[in-house]
Chains A and B, each alone.
Chain A
Amino acid sequence: MSTVSEPDRVEKAEVSQAESTTDAVQHQAQAKLGELAAKHTPVPEDQREPVLRLDGVTVSYSGAPAVCDVTMDVFRYQVTAFIGPSGCGKTTLLRSLNRMNDLITGATVDGSITYHGHDLYGSSVDAVEVRRRIGMVFQRPNPFPKSIYDNVAFGLRLHGMKDGLDERIESALHKAALWDEVKDRLKKSALALSGGQQQRLCIARALAIEPEIVLMDEPASALDPIATQRIEDLVNDLKRDYTIVIVTHNMQQAARVADMTAFFSVDVKDGGHRNGVLVEYAPTADLFIRPADPRTEAYVTGRFG
């Protein structure tokens, strides 16, 4: 991925030969992304089953829209990636999908987000129930300062899922590919684990309460390449049983893990207000190989401005 800054581009316009070389490199990169993405077999269009439907969703902080008018569906047992430059509102949008934005004073969501046809923001909806069915994993691993066991047990105890607690915990740790590494030290502090293990523990913690959807906010951005690969492998395994929405600023990662990809960009309005918009949403391979929008193409080929 080569992000080219503004002054570089001006220089290249002057040296046409350099530009054509760069172009070739860029197209290679794009082809590589397409190749990675082609390994996925997204569900054909007519068999897609929407779990979350976003219709004209705008998320604002204190009245200033951060991401505007997003309409898209999230499909069952698919990995959906949100990609785009910093400040395009992808994390903001993700957090509105399980009402984590409720915690931020001044954050409002307009438009409608439905989960199996039920309005997520309906007046009788309990945010706690929303978050039980739609789990979340954060950018930085955030295990509680408790034992590994208690971390996974936290949500289970919270929701009264206490029958077969040990089995549920073992199963969650298995699903998160962490069991073999921690089975002998379940009662030890979670803080003694490595960053990658902590993140998988956070995934186990989220899976334990049997959510249908797992939201992941750049789950590997604080991890080293090996730990990152383990998380990506895990995501590929998990989509058999879960619907996953993952925010990433790494296009290769999106190409490696996502069936569907949504590309967001930043719109600069008159007066300088910037807000995110959904530019294009398509099966990942299509988005990388045949981007329909010039902005998407500029981004995936690395000519993003």
Chain B
Amino acid sequence: MSAQANPLVGHGGRARRRKLTGQVMEAVATSAALLAAAVLAIVLFTLTKRALPALNVDLFTQNAAPFGQTGGGIKNAIVGTVIITGIATAIALPAGVLLAIFNTEFAPRRLADLIGLTLNVLSGVPTIVIGVFIFGLVVVGRGQSAYAGALGLSIVMLPLVARATEEVLRLVPSHLREGGMALGATRARTVITVILPTAIGGIVTATILAVARAAGETAPLLFTTSIFVGTTVNTDPSQAMASIPMVIFTSSEQPDPHAQQQAWAAALVLVVIVLAGSIAGRLLSLRTRRQIEQVR
């Protein structure tokens, strides 16, 4: 080392080791991130490649082919998924939002923590268990129906909606609550006229993400709305209804190569719906956060 050695440049074994450790850790972390992105890319690529042969207008405009015949589309399944998730949303959205309001605005601390824990556990319950639960509760004795399927999906959605809504409600600064109350508004009135309008974007986001998740759930439908779904569009929710996840599940098991291709195509449609929902949700959520940031 010369006398003019730059004191700001590290020398010796310690410095070298420090530098090496830093580089290795950075590389490991980067590759982990790339791996996650790669998995998504591979899934999308495979799906698209396998689905391409069956991806045509018929897929969206034709109903399922009658048993034993080839061809047809998944129109009835798309309609079914829309109706089932629609009903599920109609159940889970008000319940989830009210639960979140109760938890953030009214519940005493301990109760709020307990409910939060319950919601976390609920969101961790395997969906097949939810399917069996609804099967025992509703399907046995009454038979399968889109209602039963929707009820199952709503249980999947409830904790997602409630937790995400809670998160936005907590973001709404407390000085807005005080402002409302100082003018003589009751707690409930303040929630309705000040808090909810401020948080509405976040609630919409939460709902979109939950819908995207529920649309892809298979297990709750397996027990509740999977057989005798017919091959035409059914809009009566008291009957079993076809759905995209069920089409993927049943068609992929058939020996007919066309049916298998159709399963891939249905899978692609489902992934695109879920992906579009997630991206829309994320964008909306950024916007809401910026808006709330403005009030803080």
Contacts and interface: CB of A to CB of B under 8 A. Distances in A.
Contact of B181 (A131, A159, A202): A131
Given A105-B108, A105-B109, A144 B182 contact: no
Given A144-B179, A145-B198, A202-B179, A131 B294 contact: no
A158 B194 contact: no
Nearest to A143: B179
A90 interface: no
Contacts of A143: 179
Contacts of B70: none
B184 A142 contact: no
Interface string B165-182: 000000001011111111
B294 A135 contact: no
B175 A103 contact: no
B289 to A, nearest CB: 13
B291 interface: yes
A206 B295 contact: no
Contacts of A155: 183-185
A191 B179 CA distance: 14
A53 interface: no
Contacts of B189: 158
B46 interface: no
Interface string B252-294: 0000000000000000000000000000000000000001001
B175 A100 contact: no
Nearest to B189: A158
A206 B109 contact: no
B256 to A, nearest CB: 57
B295 A131 contact: no
B186 interface: yes
Contact of A98 (B180, B182, B186, B193): B182
B124 interface: no
B13 interface: no
Contacts of A142: 173, 175-176, 178-179
A145 B295 contact: yes
A129 B184 contact: yes
Nearest to B177: A103
Contacts of A154: 180, 183, 185, 193
B197 interface: yes
A158 B179 contact: no
B175 A144 contact: no
Nearest to B296: A140
B149 to A, nearest CB: 39
Contact of B295 (A191, A205, A209): A191
A94 B122 CA distance: 44
Most buried by A among B109, B183, B193, B294: B183
A132 interface: yes
B7 to A, nearest CB: 36
Nearest to B108: A105
Contact of B184 (A132, A146, A202): A132
Contacts of A191: 294-295
A105 B182 CA distance: 17
Contacts of A18: none
B294 A128 contact: no
B186 A138 contact: no
Contacts of A132: 183-184
Interface in B142-157: none
Contacts of B182: 98, 100, 131, 135-136, 138, 206
Given A98-B182, A154-B183, A145 B291 contact: yes
B170 to A, nearest CB: 16
Contacts of B179: 138, 142-144, 202, 205
A152 B227 CA distance: 59
A138 B183 contact: no
A131 B183 contact: yes
B291 to A, nearest CB: 7
A227 to B, nearest CB: 18
A269 to B, nearest CB: 28
A53 to B, nearest CB: 22
Contact of A158 (B173, B178, B183, B291): B183
A138 B180 contact: no
A48 B193 CA distance: 40
Contact of A209 (B184, B197, B198, B291): B184
Given A105-B109, A145-B291, A191-B295, A128 B184 contact: yes
Contacts of A105: 108-109
Interface in A206-238: 206, 209
Given A154-B183, A155-B185, 4 more contacts: A131-B184, A144-B198, A145-B294, A158-B193
30 contacts: A100-B178, A100-B181, A103-B177, A103-B181, A105-B108, A105-B109, A128-B184, A128-B185, A129-B184, A131-B181, A131-B183, A131-B184, A132-B183, A138-B182, A140-B175, A142-B173, A142-B176, A142-B178, A145-B176, A145-B197, A145-B198, A145-B291, A145-B294, A145-B295, A154-B193, A155-B184, A155-B185, A158-B183, A158-B185, A191-B294
Question: Which 9 pairs across A and B sit closest by C-beta, in order of nearness?
Answer: A155-B183, A136-B182, A132-B184, A142-B175, A142-B179, A131-B184, A128-B184, A145-B295, A145-B198
